[in-house]
Amino acid sequence: MNKGIAIQTILLLLVGVIVAAILIYLIYSYATTPTLSITECQSRIISWCTQCKTRAAGGNWPTNMYITSALYTECSTVMSNAGYPSFTMSTSCYAAHVIGTSPGICTALGIT
């Protein structure tokens, strides 16, 4: 009768510990991700809108400069919850200035 632990059992235990450690890390990092305040988001979006306005030659806001994915991820929900016009990652400077006949996020923040 063999009283030793099989190598297969040790490997399975090792894989289980690694998977558990990864899951704990992911849960912890997701739960502790800080949310930006409305003031921080306003500041970041105003900075982006100012760049758009600077590039607006002759009053034509660029259609080929878009909101960054980081800015969208960090601020879209915060700004929407605060009652500002919504925006997406495909929002260009032009769309941030005016959405059809409605003001875009830049106009709502006073950058015209």
Tally of structural domains, the chain = 2
- Which pLDDT does position 34 carry in this prediction? 65
Statement to judge: residues 42 and 24 lie in one domain: no
CB 41 within 8 A of CB 105: no
- Which pLDDT does position 19 carry in this prediction? 96
Q: Is the pLDDT of residue 27 over 90?
A: no
- Which pLDDT does position 31 carry in this prediction? 72
The whole-angstrom separation of Cα 105 and Cα 4 is 68
Residue range of the domain that includes 80: 38-108
pLDDT digits (tens, 9 = 90+) for 45-99: 999 888 888 888 777 788 888 888 888 888 888 888 888 888 887 788 888 887 6
Statement to judge: residues 6 and 56 lie in one domain: no
Statement to judge: residues 42 and 96 lie in one domain: yes
Does this model's pTM top 0.85? My answer is: no
Statement to judge: residues 48 and 102 lie in one domain: yes
Statement to judge: residues 48 and 72 lie in one domain: yes
Task: List Cα–Cα distances, 54 to 19, 25, 58, 95, in angstroms.
Answer: 49, 42, 10, 16
